[in-house]
Amino acid sequence: MEEELYVVGKRVPRTDSIYKVTGAAEYTADIKLPNMLIAKVLRSPYPHAKIVNIDISKAKRVPGVKAVITGKDGYGVKWGVFKYTQDHMMLPIDKVRYVGEDIAACAAIDEETAQEAIELIKVDYEPLEPVFDPEEAMKDGAPLIHEGYPRNINIHVHIEVGDVDKAFKEAHYVREDKFRAQGEAYAMLEPYACVAYYKNGYLDLWMPNAGPHVRAKALSNLLKIPLNRIRVRHVFIGGAFGGRSEVAPADFIVSLLSIKTERPVKLVMSREENAISSRQVHDVVARIKTGVKKDGTIVARDYEVIYDGGAYSSTGPIAASVPFYVYEECYRMANVRYHGYRVYTNKGIRGMYGCHGRAFLAGCEAQLDLIAKELGLDPIEIRLKNGLRAGEETATGSKIISCGLQETIEEATKKVDFKNKWKKATRLKGVGMGCVAIMCGFPMGFRSGSSCSVKFNDDGQATIITAIVDNGQGNESMAIQIASEVLGIPMEDINIINADTEATSLDPGAYSQAATFVGANAVKRACEDARRQIAEIAREKLSCEIKDIVIKERMVFSRKNPENKIPISWIVREAFLRGKPIIGVGSYFPNIDLKREWVSKPFGQMAGSFSYGTSVAELTVDENTGKIKVHKFIAAHDCGRPINPMAVEGQLEGGIMQAGIAAIMEGNIWHNGFLMNPDLLEYKIPTAKDMPDIETVLVTTMDPEGPFGAKEGGLTIRMSAYSAIASAFYNATGRLFKELPLTPDKVLELLQTEEG
């Protein structure tokens, strides 16, 4: 029998929203501390240049300036997520590698003074030949950006399963295409900011981040301060989308300035600085070759994907792999070869994006439709035929324990009469779809698991303590909702202490879609532990069996005698009297193959479970202006079970905008290493008027491992929405896209070419 749930699965207002609608929520830039100094950073005007000398003497003499720092004030430590990717000094001493790179910084009593000082720093550069195009950078003789990386290849991921060449020879039909995509701006609405306060040997920090523990660890290495002395604190965060996952140069700089002055220091980036000097998204070139049997079974795949990695490694190996994995977690791949190259160029630092690798995924999916047509099939048939199902294994050996791919395809396409529309596509009007899977958590070594504790006050209210971080997606509310369900007390009775490295235990963060599947699983277990302790005492008081204990609306009773109720607060007090207060602890470690390594051993269980999703778009193309109009967009996502359906829908709706509509308008434009559209006037993000009619579908598969059956809540749409646009464009025009975004100039050019 399906257990009865009181809160989980309900459309509840998020607990954090009250602070946000009243303006009370404090984001990093809103923080004001006594004696706080303001920091400013001097940035490189060159994409590639040797630093000959930095003269800070004049800057230091400006009245009101309290500290000026350069790379020499650091500890010579280079940051990288992996031992083999440690290449980022945060404040370089040898040379600069991108326009906007941090060179020096100062802290002063106010912003104007800090700005004045920055302008007085004199840097002598010796310009070096730069390289901007990753394919150029890979050629012999290209200027080298880092030592020890021939042809500027930062990371090379090679995955090979089956006998690819033989499979191609035997294939009935083979197709090869090349696709490109400009990188995008995360454009989270909150520009990056950081506050640091070093006092009595302890460093407190506030900044938008997607994993406080991961951040603290990086800073501990960079600053040579033990972990217990670095305390990343909770703060409201104005969006992340993958762009706040790694340590930022600003964190290091502000910390160093605070250590020097022993005063709180705040740095708030402008929108342009956020675009140029916080993280950006990889530009991608993907060569996709696919071989099929007559019946539509895909038998061979050969992929070469080049990621424009910018100046430093960042999450290099992960970034160069993830687009492939989310695809292999979705479709059967008996014979597959993947070469992923992440290449250094003289451009800004890069990170993962919720919509990472769009050229690859959209390319694969649009090409699949062309193949389907060639074989007399349709997009639905070919996807259902090749899509993975629960119980199967992916090409690299991840077992799938729940899978709603089929349902998302069926539900999403049903809404627009897809089959008929696709077959009878009228000129310049089309439908298209894209599918993908997402891992609920990456392998992050001992950081892959999470733990939580819960304690009760004597009035029967509780506090949960978890490292879960909320970047805006609603993770805090989700954790409280789960705790409320297990503990039998309303959500308003539960406080949360989270995203604070001093109070909480290790956790992967919101990075890698682990919050629900891993973090909330630990919350559930901690609450179950507390509930057991409550039930233990209640059993005595109610003279019943433990299995009959029910806790509901702050009351404890036996299922067999529901009239006889005791308030939960009485039990809590009794526990205090017995010297055993109710304190629940719980942890969750997902089933991940810990021997798996992104480059050296890309095989084994990737994540505890995978979510599935399908995007469907309907659009028209104006042949005179080249403008695409998206009329309808359906997003169907298998999140196991939605904890808060309203919150999950919100994730899908955001994904439609951030990936789907972005596919026709968003892209970073570069000229000689300069980002030409760093602000929100030149870089267009969709407004309410750009949005089509949207529908979302939540598919329930009840994951056997996830908390209450839940999995990751919505990233599949961010990862598949642009595929739907690319496929619909093919259906409307008979042409595969060549480069995203499909802006009018590119559309008009494509319409001049032959179909196919």
Comparing every residue's Cβ against ligand FES, the nearest one is 189
| Partner from ligand FES, other proteins, none binding residue 11, C-beta < 5-8 Å depending on class | other proteins
Nearer to other proteins, 687 or 752 (CB): 687
Tell me how far, at minimum, the Cβ of 465 lies from other proteins, in Å.
23
Q: How far is CA 593 from the centre of its chain?
A: 21
Name residues contacting ligand FES, limited to 217-246 (CB under 6 A). 239
State whether residue 614 is helix, strand or coil.
strand
- Contact by Cβ (8 Å): 709, 639: no
Residue 608 near residue 471, CB atoms below 8 Å:
no
Residue 189 interacts with ligand FES (CB under 6 A): yes or no: yes
Q: Residue 12 CB, nearest distance to ligand FES (Å)?
A: 18
399: Cβ contacts below 8 Å, ≥ 6 apart: 391, 392, 393, 605
By the rule CB under 6 A, 508 interacts with ligand FES = no
Q: How far is the CB of 25 from other proteins (least distance, A)?
A: 5
Would you count residue 272 as binding ligand FES (CB under 6 A)?
no
Contacts (CB under 8 A) with other proteins, residues 218-237: 236-237
Q: Which residues touch 283 (CB under 8 Å, ≥6 apart)?
A: 134, 180, 181, 182, 183, 307, 308, 668
Residue with tokens 């299922």: 559
Among 47, 472, 509, 602, binds other proteins (CB under 8 A): 472
To 10 degrees, what angle do helices 358-375 and 379-386 make?
110
Task: For residue 673, give the nearest of 41, 101, 228, 181 by alpha carbon.
Answer: 101
Pairwise CA distance, residues 335 & 612, whole Å: 22
Query: Is 473 near other proteins (CB under 8 A)?
Result: yes
CB 680, min distance to other proteins, A: 4
The verdict on 335 binding other proteins (CB under 8 A) reads no
Instruction: Indicate whether 591 belongs to the interface with other proteins (CB under 8 A).
Output: no
Minimal distance, residue 630 CB to ligand FES, in Å: 20
Q: By CB under 8 A, tell whether 21 contacts other proteins.
A: yes
- Count helices and strands (H / E) in the chain: 21, 31
Contact residue for other proteins among 1, 3, 4, 23 (CB under 8 A) = 23
Whether residue 741 has a cis bond before it, omega within 30° of 0: yes
Q: Which of 212, 246, 371 is nearest to 301 (CA)?
A: 371
Please name which of 115, 125, 128 lies closest in space to residue 42, comparing C-alpha atoms: 115
Residue 30 is a binding residue for other proteins (CB under 8 A): yes
Q: What is the Cα Rg of the chain in Å? A: 27
> Judged by CB under 8 A, how many residues of this single chain contact other proteins?
54
Distances (CA, A) of 157 to 206, 307, 316, 325, 337: 35, 11, 10, 12, 10
Residue 709 found at the interface with ligand FES (CB under 6 A): no
Nearer to other proteins, 577 or 681 (CB): 681
From 183-191, 194-202, 306-314, 445-453, give the range in contact with other proteins by CB under 8 A.
183-191
Q: Which does 578 bind (CB under 5 to 8 A by kind): other proteins, ligand FES, none?
A: none
Which one among 646, 669, 753, 756 touches other proteins, defined by CB under 8 A?
Answer: 646
Helices 521-542 and 475-487: angle between axes, nearest 10 degrees: 20
Tell me: does residue 689 bind other proteins (CB under 8 A).
yes
Closest listed residue to residue 280, CA positions, set 371, 353, 366, 231:
353
Q: Is 472 in the site for ligand FES (CB under 6 A)?
A: yes
681 binds other proteins (CB under 8 A): yes
The yes or no reply on residue 5 touching ligand FES (CB under 6 A) is no
13 binding partner (options other proteins, ligand FES, none; Cβ < 5 to 8 Å by kind): other proteins
Nearer to ligand FES, 24 or 189 (CB): 189
- Three-state SS string over 513-550 comes to HCHHHHHHHHHHHHHHHHHHHHHHHHHHHHCCCHHHEE
703 binds other proteins (CB under 8 A): no
- Residue 189 binds other proteins, judged by CB under 8 A: yes
694 binds other proteins (CB under 8 A): yes
Task: Give me the count of residues in the chain.
Answer: 756
Mark residues 271-290: x for contact with other proteins by CB under 8 A, - for none.
x-------------------
Closest distance to other proteins from the beta carbon of 29 (Å): 7
Torsions phi, psi of 748, nearest 5? -60, -40
Rounded to whole angstroms, what are the CA distances from 58 to 53, 65, 234, 265, 341? 14, 11, 37, 21, 44
Are 663 and 740 within 8 A, CB to CB? Answer: yes
Question: Residue 253 half-sphere exposure, CB side, CA atoms within 13 Å?
Answer: 31
Residue 473 contact, options other proteins, ligand FES, none, Cβ 5-8 Å cut-off depending on partner type: other proteins
> Which of residues 584 and 686 has its CB atom nearest to other proteins in the complex?
686
- Residue with Cβ nearer other proteins (366 or 721): 721
* Closest distance to other proteins from the beta carbon of 27 (Å): 7
Binding positions for ligand FES, rule: CB under 6 A = 189, 239, 472
Binding positions for other proteins, rule: CB under 8 A = 11, 13-14, 16-27, 29-30, 32, 187-191, 236-239, 241, 270-271, 471-474, 646-647, 649-650, 652-658, 679-681, 685, 687-689, 691, 694
